[in-house]
Amino acid sequence: MESSSSSSVVLPWVIFLCGAVLVHPNPTLPANQSASLILPLKAMQIPNKLSFHHNVSLTVSVAVGSPPQRATMVLDTGSHLSWLHCAGAAAPPSSFNSGASTSYRPIPCSAPTCTNPISEFSLPVSCAAGNLCHVILSYADASAVEGSLAADTFRLDESGTTFPGTVFGCMVSGSSPNPEEDSKATGLLGMNRGRLSFVSQSGFPKFSYCISGRDSSGVLLLGAADYQWLRPLNYTPMIQITTPLPNFDKIAYTVRLQAILIAGRPLSVPESVFEPDHTGAGQTMVDSGTQFTFLLGPVYAALKSEFLNRTAGILQPVEDPNFVFQGAMDVCYRIGDISRVDLEVALPSVTVVLGGGAEIRVSGERLLYGIGGNRYCLTFGNSELLGVEAYVIGHHHQQDMWVEFDLVNSRVGLTEFSCELASRRMGLES
């Protein structure tokens, strides 16, 4: 999640893309194309953009260049530009070697991509030495990367589906709170609604994913998910605005948040607190680049109070009342041996209610994240402690849900579904 827009455990893993089953015959087809590209998601641990150590990020394994070089990229629906660490003196071992690719093309300062105003960048595009189009990207954890715009061929599967001329950032320097951990990924795959995002450039009208809640295969699908066994999806419309607002990210997947329920009862907060204000602050974004779900201060305070009241005498809070896990999560407990069944009974469910009737229900072990020493923290955090003026629905609370981003009809579809079962039905290996 880029800082210009907003802000990314119970289970320590990440998602890797492997081979494909169905192949999109021609990525340049118009938006009414019917074929889809399906890839399995595998689980591993890797950090994400937010300042949580050893977090879970969703990553895709792609091939870039000619001959192809393998790259592990964080899948981020909160970012508009894909980028790779490019080989250099200070680059991590996993970097992309642009000099070894015969299809690599740097984008000059005179190119329309560089000369036209690009408001989607948090910092202005400039012209660097060598007539290169220079970009800087900054993120919510105060990390940043910079380099030059370029184009090359991207491949997402083993059967020849290519996306030639894909624009991305070839980054040669940056700063990060966790440089050693961040070096495990080669870069980031931007998937929001910006014109330079990978999904916009590739021309797919829809894409979906199912994030496994267990150590088994999930799914990433580019194209339409025409499967009867996935129906019905509950759709919530994307919010669109025409007037530019300083604190509203117009290319994010913004939906309408209507209520937060705890144990089926709405929090005691005014409905107006869920609406963006006159500056655009307070939008609600679906962001795969953010791990947990973050709420604006007043709503988080109400959830915290109610959750503590309902777990009093059941769970033992951490003794230090000033303890805040990684600066954003301060509802934490000491818990010994407890089963998932016990958690389902002991903990009140939290439901995120969206416009159009779509809901995300969080219960049991997904409400808590183990941070070591028998300590667990609530997987909802205070976005204002992150310096983010928005509600952010992270990928931890999207586990074992089919999530569809319908770009043509400007809506997001949700339904609870076993990702392991989806993988089997699509013929993917577990």
Catalytic residue list: 76, 287
Distance CA 23, CA 156 (A): 10
Residue 344 host element (H or E)? helix 340-346
Distance CA 147, CA 169 (A): 6
Distance CA 3, CA 388 (A): 8
Please give the structure tokens belonging to residue 59: 């990553």
- 355 contacts: CB under 8 Å, gap ≥ 6: 236, 237, 255, 256, 257, 258
Distance CA 384, CA 381 (A): 9
Residue 376's DSSP bridge partners are 333, 370
Peptide bond preceding 179: is omega within 30 degrees of 0, i.e. cis? Answer: no
Q: By C-alpha distance, which of 239, 150, 157 is closest to 196?
A: 150
Please give the structure tokens belonging to residue 244: 């530019």
The position carrying tokens 């289970």 is 11
DSSP labels, 210-255: EB-SSSS-EEEEES----GGGPPPEEEEBP--SS--TT--TTS-EE
Distance CA 364, CA 345 (A): 8
Do 225 and 312 meet the contact criterion of CB atoms below 8 Å apart? no
Please give the structure tokens belonging to residue 382: 């205070």
Q: By C-alpha distance, which of 199, 250, 178 is closest to 60?
A: 199
Please give the structure tokens belonging to residue 209: 């994913």
**Residue 308: what residue type?**
L
Residue 151's DSSP bridge partners are 105, 167
Do 223 and 134 meet the contact criterion of CB atoms below 8 Å apart? no
